[in-house]
Amino acid sequence: MLLALAVALFAIGLLGVIVRRNVLVMLMCMELMLNGVNLSLVTFAQQTGTTVGAVLVFLTFVVATAEIALAIPIVLLLVRRKHTLDLSTYNELNG
């Protein structure tokens, strides 16, 4: 049951990243995916009766925090350049 919830969270997050154009929404969806993974980790830890999974969750939290701390300033800089959050307008790197 919890596993199914984790998969659902992950799938919704992935769909959001792919479909939405708004940077902030995409970041939020990525958090959703991350949380889906965390949930699955905890679930497995409980099922197997070990603590390894639970410990790994803390590691993921730290990484996620660092990631957001970097991502938000990047978004800020992007917005300063073009005054929009729409990612499809940022295509300067096309070949």
Residue numbers at the binding site for another protein (CB under 8 A): 14, 17-18, 21, 87-88, 90-95
For residues 25 and 54, which CB has a smaller minimum distance to another protein in the complex? 25
DSSP at 22: B
63, 34 Cβ separation under 8 angstroms: no
Task: Give the CB-side neighbour count of residue 69, counting CA atoms within 13 A.
Answer: 6
CB of 30 to another protein, least distance (A): 10
For residues 20 and 54, which CB has a smaller minimum distance to another protein in the complex? 20
Look at the chain and count its residues: 95
The tokens describing 44, both together, are 């497995």
For residues 49 and 95, which CB has a smaller minimum distance to another protein in the complex? 95
CB of 75 to another protein, least distance (A): 12
